[in-house]
């Protein structure tokens, strides 16, 4: 007899395969490549006569960025640069075994990867040109993170992969959007524009994944609610969790503490995302029975639980002393 989880995941894979038509209709959430932005559009043009002036102006603006914001930006960039890890793990949804399958899910995964690839590229180029950070240390961190890998804790369950991506795309949209606001307030219009644009990409991705999971719930309410509950039982694993610069063992936590202090991405955001997803997917209205009804109840109480937890985390983070980051030449942030 097949293991019940295996056969259940198998049927989930079949349901996702049946969504190929819907995925095809939603491929418009990828930007048409000939009209898409590229990193070059936001950087000084080093091929023109006045490149020195352009570069000087670019660096002048970047001088205004605080060390704390730089640390958050590096952490975001390192996370984006570990894209190979995310593409590998998202193949649990796309199941593109040959690598160039024409099926809509496979097209989506490749198109998504291609769009995400620009995020790391652009932030990397921005940071390098500013001369504000220790690029070798940043590169070493990226190298470690990709080599260490990434486990979204979706346990090869394809539905969970969609919950995970809906959550993470919204989280990155919020975080890049907040960096954009702070950069603008600190006087770097270039960085503000860069992060705003990246945030716009994340927003399109979020809409796509959220719609796809909504479709799953329409077709398999019990399976969807149970998968969502399983993801919520633990903390959503953050994509850059295993980052390491060769020095600080809990580098991610240190970076997350700065992000929390600057209110770029906080535990309250985490709670609000869960609340948003529960409402958007109309979890409370899904008609389910048995264990799925219990899971439904559990999910509807999640945001409230996290909000209480979030207050405790905020107090703890606020009391944490600043740490030294190799990314900014061992200065404190
Ligand atoms: Fe991204
Ligand atoms: Fe994204």
User: How does pLDDT run across 1-10, given as a tens digit for each residue?
Assistant: 445 555 677 7
Distance 151 CA to ligand 2 centre (A): 17
Residue 332, in any domain of the structure: no
Whether this model's pTM surpasses 0.85:
yes
Q: Give residue 2's pLDDT.
A: 45
- Ion ligand 2: residue ranges with CB closer than 5 A: 169, 202, 205
The Å distance, Cα 287 to ligand 1 centre, comes to 35
Q: Which of 121, 144, 113 is nearest to 240 (CA)?
A: 144
Grade residue 241 by pLDDT with cuts at 50, 70 and 90.
very high
- pLDDT at 133 exceeding the cut of 70: yes
Report the pLDDT value the prediction gives residue 5, as an integer from 0 to 100. 59
- Residue 238 resides in a domain: yes
139 neighbors 77 (Cβ within 8 angstroms): no
User: Does any domain span residue 233?
Assistant: yes
Lowest mean pLDDT among 167-176, 277-286, 308-317, 320-329: 308-317
Percentage of residues in the chain having pLDDT higher than 70: 98
Q: Which pLDDT tens digit goes with each residue over 137-157?
A: 999 999 999 999 999 888 888
Residues measured by CB to lie within 5 Å of ligand 1, the ion: 80, 116, 119
Q: Which residue has the tokens 């102006």?
A: 57
End-to-end CA distance of the chain: 56
- Average pLDDT of span 221-245: 93
In the chain, beta strands by DSSP E: 324-325, 331-332
In a domain, 173, yes or no: yes
Range of the domain at 258: 4-37+51-321
pLDDT in tens, 71-109: 999 999 999 999 999 999 999 899 999 999 999 999 999
pLDDT at 126 > cutoff 70 = yes
Lowest-confidence region among 43-57, 137-151, 207-221, 308-322: 308-322
pLDDT of residue 1: 44
In a domain, 266, yes or no: yes
Q: How many angstroms is it from 47 CA to the middle of ligand 2? A: 30
Number of domains in the chain: 1
Largest CA distance in the chain: 72
Instruction: Tell me the ligand closest to 90's alpha carbon.
Output: 2
Is the pLDDT confidence value at 60 over 70? yes
Report the distance separating Cα 304 and Cα 302, nearest Å: 5
Mean pLDDT, to the nearest integer, of 174-187?
Answer: 98
Rounded to the nearest angstrom, the distance between the alpha carbon of 188 and the centre of ligand 1 is: 21
- Taking residues 116-136, report their average pLDDT: 98
Q: Is residue 44 part of a domain?
A: no
Long-range contacts of 84-87 (CB under 8 A, 24+ apart): 84/146, 85/145, 85/146, 85/149, 85/150, 85/239, 86/116, 86/150, 86/239, 87/113
Taking all residues of the chain, what is their mean pLDDT, rounded to a whole number? 94
**Would 46 be classed as within a structural domain?**
no
Most confident of 45-54, 146-155, 301-310: 45-54
Ligand nearest to the CA of 117: 1
Average pLDDT on 47-60 reads 98
Q: Is the pLDDT of residue 231 over 60?
A: yes
What is the model's pLDDT at position 293?
A: 97
Q: How many C-beta neighbours within 10 Å does residue 75 have?
A: 26
Whether 232 is in a domain gets the answer yes
- What is the Cβ-side half-sphere exposure of residue 313, based on CA atoms within 13 angstroms? 21
Distance 76 CA to ligand 2 centre (A): 12
Nearest of 180, 333, 175, 167 to residue 257 by alpha carbon: 333
Please list the active-site residues: 37, 80, 116, 119, 169, 172, 201-202, 205
Instruction: Confirm if 55 and 44 have CB atoms less than 8 A apart.
Output: yes
CATH of the domain at 67: 1.10.620.20
| pLDDT at residue 244 in the model | 98
Expressed in angstroms and rounded, the spacing between residue 38 Cα and the centre of ligand 1 is 14
> So what's the pLDDT on residue 318?
74
What residues pair up with 324 in beta bridges, in sequence order? 332
């Amino acid at each position: 007899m097949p293991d019940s989880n295996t056969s259940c995941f198998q049927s989930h894979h079949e349901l996702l395969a049946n969504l190929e038509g819907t995925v095809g209709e939603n491929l418009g959430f990828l930007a048409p490549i000939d009209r898409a932005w590229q990193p070059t559009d936001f950087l000084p043009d080093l091929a023109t006569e006045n490149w020195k002036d352009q570069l000087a102006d670019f660096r002048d603006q970047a001088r205004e960025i605080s060390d704390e914001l730089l640390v958050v930006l590096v952490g975001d960039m390192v996370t984006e640069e570990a894209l190979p890890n995310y593409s590998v793990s998202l193949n649990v949804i796309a199941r593109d075994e040959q690598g160039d399958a024409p099926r809509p899910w496979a097209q989506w995964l490749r198109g998504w990867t291609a769009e995400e690839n620009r995020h790391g590229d652009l932030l990397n180029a921005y940071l390098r040109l500013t001369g504000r950070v220790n690029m070798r240390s940043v590169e070493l961190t990226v190298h470690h993170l990709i080599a260490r890998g990434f486990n979204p804790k979706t346990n090869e369950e394809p539905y969970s992969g969609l919950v995970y991506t809906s959550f993470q795309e919204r989280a990155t949209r919020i975080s890049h959007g907040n960096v954009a606001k702070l950069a603008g307030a600190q006087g770097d219009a270039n960085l503000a524009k860069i992060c705003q644009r990246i945030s716009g990409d994340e927003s399109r991705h979020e809409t796509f994944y959220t719609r796809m999971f909504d479709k799953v719930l329409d077709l398999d309410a019990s399976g969807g609610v149970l998968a969502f509950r399983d993801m919520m039982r633990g903390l959503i694993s953050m994509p850059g969790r295993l980052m390491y610069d060769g020095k600080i063992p809990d580098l991610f936590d240190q970076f997350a503490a700065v992000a929390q202090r600057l209110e770029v991405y906080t535990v309250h955001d985490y709670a609000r995302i869960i609340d948003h997803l529960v409402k958007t997917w109309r979890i409370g209205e899904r008609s389910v029975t048995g264990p799925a009804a219990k899971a439904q109840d559990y999910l509807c109480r999640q945001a409230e639980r996290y909000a209480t937890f979030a207050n405790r985390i905020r107090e703890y983070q606020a009391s944490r002393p600043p740490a030294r980051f190799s990314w900014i030449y061992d200065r404190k942030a």
